[in-house]
Chains A and B, each alone.
Chain A
Amino acid sequence: MKRVAVTGIGVISPLGNDSATFFAALLAGRSAIARLEGRFHERLACPIGAAATFDGTRHFDAAKLRMLDRVSQFALAAAAQAIADAQGVLEGIDHSRAGVFVGTGMGGAQSVDDGYHALYAEASDRLKPFTVLLSMTNAPGAWIGLEHGFTGANLTYSTACSSSAVAIGEAARRIAHGEADVMIAGGAEAPLNFGTLKAWEALRTLASEDPLDASASCKPFAKDRSGLVLGEGAAMFVLEDRDRATARGARVHAEIAGYGLTTDAAHITRPSAHGQASAMRLALEDAHLAPQDIGYVNAHGTGTAANDGVETTAIKGVFGKRAYALPVSSTKSMHGHLLGAAGALELAAAILAMGRGVVPPTAHLKVRDPECDLDYVSEGARPVAALGAVMSSSFAFGGTNAVLIARGP
């Protein structure tokens, strides 16, 4: 089996459009959650979200932009960053052994929303000519492959909130099994349109706005948590055969050491501690690591009543007594829930934490919940000596649990 190096990281997020800005904001405990602006947003019960400050016209010309939903714009920009970060990765590349795996829950949701608005509200008989190309779920990955001429496998994974963790885990396997030399892997999501926000509102899973501070509305693991807050963005990684990375003298951020994937097969939304714990154990087994080797867990931590207690139980089940001494945080408290892109963005947070030796906090956790009694790093960013390996968990509606473990370079 080949070792899988992470040689490039690209981030478009509510907290900034590069990995350094993103991580600095996490350490500062800064939340990007705010009131959303939009033409119908006064009709939302709670018009909050974590929007990325991203202007597509600064990245793409007008003709290209007409073909790119916001989700593909995020994906392309993050992939370009990751490739630039992996200095020289394209030199001498065998394009037939390079691929793209992307996770997205909803794909081109903005274009679908725009199309329905034109048809139903404006009573138009015509849609924009590229509506299919804009909204098809595999567009983000297809554009990345086109842009860089990668002719190997190009797959899109859509397993709701674990989509990008699955994409990264599966891409790492392609390299580990010797089927690819280089993979662009990650996720992208752009759900902050009226139709999508209304659909989530209907599911009664969104947070209510904090009456004193909108930015504090997502409170993972807190007694007064009221739900999740949607966010948008993308995170992409360059994954590379470790031998190739070493041969070209590349800087290695981390290795993807373990990937665990299970399915609850119990309930379409309600999470299962057994399913979550099983995925964590499989990831540890895959990484040939013991629970005590993990120095930080970036939790799924949605801030919903359903998830946080169950996830706490799952962590205890896997880590035993050590669970109480293990730093666990949910950065969703600051960047919101990026759905299909969440796993990728949170893996970036975990890898950057390992690189810097400091873990980001769970923001807005003031009121303790007896059911959630682990160390959630609620006091602020915390330096942690010798972070050798970190875990990032993503659990989805539909029951797909994906856990990734990254090891220091």
Chain B
Amino acid sequence: MSTLERLAALLSKEFAIDPARLGPAARLEDLDIDSLRMIEIAFAVEDAFGVKITDEPSQLMARLKTVGDFASYVDGLLAAAGTSKAPP
């Protein structure tokens, strides 16, 4: 499963977002993801992908506009951590 698919599955399951709305071009602000919600999502992504997100929510909001951006960002974190596998 690609990072994009895993991220979409996480957002759908944990944050009750309709999977049909979670394509790569979907804009985070259209999904009602504000900076407070981003804190929760960052927490869930850390758990699910075994990565550490050090950027602040406002930085994430400025940098990541779409679900595709977010997936690429997570790919970058996974690469930096030297693994692309989910934690056991």
Q: Tell me the smallest distance from the CB of B42 to a CB of chain A, in Å.
A: 8
Q: How far is the CA of A66 from the CA of B16 in the complex (A)?
A: 13
Chain A binding surface, main DSSP class:
loop
In this complex, how many residues of chain B approach chain A with their Cβ under 8 Å: the count is 8
Residues of A with C-beta under 8 A to B46: 126
Q: Tell me the smallest distance from the CB of A27 to a CB of chain B, in Å.
A: 43
Residues of B with C-beta under 8 A to A126: 43, 46
Residues of B with C-beta under 8 A to A62: 16
Residues of A with C-beta under 8 A to B43: 126, 128-129
Query: Among residues 48 to 89 in chain A, which have CB atoms less than 8 Å away from a CB atom of chain B?
Result: 61-63, 66
A63 touches B39 (CB 8 A): no
In this complex, how many residues of chain A approach chain B with their Cβ under 8 Å: the count is 8
Q: How far is the CA of A269 from the CA of B16 in the complex (A)?
A: 48
Question: Which residue on chain A has the smallest CB distance to residue B15?
Answer: A63
A200 at the interface (CB under 8 A from B): no
B40 at the interface (CB under 8 A from A): yes
Q: How far is the CA of A126 from the CA of B39 in the complex (A)?
A: 13
Residues of B with C-beta under 8 A to A324: none
Residues of B with C-beta under 8 A to A61: 16
Residues of A with C-beta under 8 A to B40: 66, 129-130
Q: How far is the CA of A63 from the CA of B40 in the complex (A)?
A: 10
Residues of B with C-beta under 8 A to A130: 39-40
Q: How far is the CA of A129 from the CA of B40 in the complex (A)?
A: 6
Residues of B with C-beta under 8 A to A66: 40
Q: How far is the CA of A129 from the CA of B43 in the complex (A)?
A: 7
Q: How far is the CA of A128 from the CA of B43 in the complex (A)?
A: 8
Q: Tell me the smallest distance from the CB of A61 to a CB of chain B, in Å.
A: 7
Residues of A with C-beta under 8 A to B42: 129
Bitwise, A112-137 to B at CB < 8 A (1) or not (0) is 00000000000000101110000000
Q: Tell me the smallest distance from the CB of A338 to a CB of chain B, in Å.
A: 31
Query: Among residues 25 to 62 in chain B, which have CB atoms less than 8 Å away from a CB atom of chain A?
Result: 37, 39-40, 42-43, 46
Q: How far is the CA of A151 from the CA of B39 in the complex (A)?
A: 27
Residues of B with C-beta under 8 A to A63: 15-16, 37
Q: How far is the CA of A287 from the CA of B42 in the complex (A)?
A: 55
Q: How far is the CA of A63 from the CA of B31 in the complex (A)?
A: 13
Q: Tell me the smallest distance from the CB of A108 to a CB of chain B, in Å.
A: 17
Q: How far is the CA of A129 from the CA of B46 in the complex (A)?
A: 12
Q: How far is the CA of A281 from the CA of B37 in the complex (A)?
A: 51
Q: Tell me the smallest distance from the CB of A114 to a CB of chain B, in Å.
A: 15
Q: How far is the CA of A365 from the CA of B24 in the complex (A)?
A: 68
Q: Tell me the smallest distance from the CB of A149 to a CB of chain B, in Å.
A: 19
Q: How far is the CA of A62 from the CA of B13 in the complex (A)?
A: 11
Residues of A with C-beta under 8 A to B37: 63
Q: How far is the CA of A62 from the CA of B40 in the complex (A)?
A: 13
Q: How far is the CA of A126 from the CA of B43 in the complex (A)?
A: 9
Residues of B with C-beta under 8 A to A128: 43
Q: How far is the CA of A129 from the CA of B16 in the complex (A)?
A: 18
Q: How far is the CA of A74 from the CA of B67 in the complex (A)?
A: 36
B39 touches A129 (CB 8 A): yes
Question: Which residue on chain B has the smallest CB distance to residue A61?
Answer: B16
Q: Tell me the smallest distance from the CB of A169 to a CB of chain B, in Å.
A: 34
Question: Which residue on chain A has the smallest CB distance to residue B42?
Answer: A129
Question: Which residue on chain B has the smallest CB distance to residue A133?
Answer: B36
Bitwise, B63-83 to A at CB < 8 A (1) or not (0) is 000000000000000000000
Q: How far is the CA of A61 from the CA of B14 in the complex (A)?
A: 12
Residues of B with C-beta under 8 A to A129: 39-40, 42-43
Question: Which residue on chain A has the smallest CB distance to residue B38?
Answer: A129
Q: How far is the CA of A10 from the CA of B10 in the complex (A)?
A: 38
Q: How far is the CA of A62 from the CA of B16 in the complex (A)?
A: 8
Q: How far is the CA of A130 from the CA of B39 in the complex (A)?
A: 8
Q: How far is the CA of A128 from the CA of B44 in the complex (A)?
A: 10
Query: Among residues 130 to 189 in chain A, which have CB atoms less than 8 Å away from a CB atom of chain B?
Result: 130
Residues of A with C-beta under 8 A to B16: 61-63
Further 10 A-B residue pairs, CB within 8 A, beyond A63-B15, A126-B46:
A61-B16, A62-B16, A63-B16, A63-B37, A126-B43, A128-B43, A129-B39, A129-B42, A130-B39, A130-B40
B-side residues, CB < 8 A to A, are 15-16, 37, 39-40, 42-43, 46
The 15 listed contacts between A and B (C-beta, < 8 Å) are A61-B16, A62-B16, A63-B15, A63-B16, A63-B37, A66-B40, A126-B43, A126-B46, A128-B43, A129-B39, A129-B40, A129-B42, A129-B43, A130-B39, A130-B40
A-side residues, CB < 8 A to B, are 61-63, 66, 126, 128-130
